[in-house]
Amino acid sequence: MATRQEILDWCRDSLQVNMFKDYAPNGLQVEGRETVNRLATSVTASKAAIDFAVARGADMLLVHHGMFWKSEPLTITGWKKERIETLLQHQINMVGYHLPLDAHPEWGNNAQLAALLDWGLDYQCGDQNLLNIGRLNTPQTLQRLSDSMADKLQRQPVVVGDMNREIKRIAWCTGGAQGFFQTAIDEGADAYVTGEISEAQYHLANECGVAFISAGHHATERYGVKALAGAIGEVFGVEVCSFDEQNPA
């Protein structure tokens, strides 16, 4: 058992939250009970994830995508009211870490994706060092890379590029980071991997000869929150349970 504040303080320091400029609050978003025996995780604080936390008797729900974003209305109505009402009724703390969790060198989404797919990191760059530049530990064709990602991420990626090209140098950033594609090109990547694709990236990939792989926002960000929760479980001795959805986005 641990106190809510002990976990929050440890996460703040471990993730170096104060180093990031984010468009969502990092840390406690909805306050519940003071002590935590069981921790539930989910990529997103959806109603389904909250219902899972209730069913499992969790005292805290740890997520990557919380409920409060700078671009959203401030009113607590509709779906947001339903989610918050359930959390408050069951005294569940809802805690979210966004960019700090993407970037962490061990538990972060970028680091966890690289470990899953056997990529080596050379350096980080881009806005807040969120773009990763590295290499495939085993060079392979774009087709083979796509097939491997489909198998390990359980989602068929959208791939733009020459499927017979050998990929050695790779750049990646999980989630909705298609805006880093030009930087990846400038850094000499053979392929860029992220979660989403917009219309412009199709043309850029074809014209620049650098492959673009959209592997799914949810699919590329399943792993960071689980890794962070596992570390919390080891440090504080709390039970951890994880929720996942077949989100195609």
Spatial separation of the C-alpha atoms in residues 62 and 55, rounded to whole Å = 15
Those residues with Cβ within 8 angstroms of residue 193's Cβ, 6 or more apart along the chain or in another chain: 113, 149, 170, 171, 172, 173, 213, 215, 220
DSSP 8-state symbol, 85: H
64 is in an annotated binding site: yes
* DSSP characters over 117-168: HTEEEEEEESGGG-EEEEEEEEEEEHHHHHHHHHHHHTSPPEEES-TTSEEE
Spatial separation of the C-alpha atoms in residues 9 and 73, rounded to whole Å = 29
For residue 175, what are its two tokens? 């989630």
Exposed/middle/buried for 25, CB within 10 Å: 0-12, 13-18, 19+? middle
End-to-end alpha carbon distance in the chain:
36
221 is in an annotated binding site: yes
218 is in an annotated binding site: no
104 is in an annotated binding site: no
Spatial separation of the C-alpha atoms in residues 51 and 112, rounded to whole Å = 26
* 3-state secondary structure (DSSP) of residue 218: helix
DSSP 8-state symbol, 84: H
Known binding-site residue numbers: 64-65, 102, 217, 221
Known binding-site residue numbers for a divalent metal cation: 64-65, 102, 217, 221
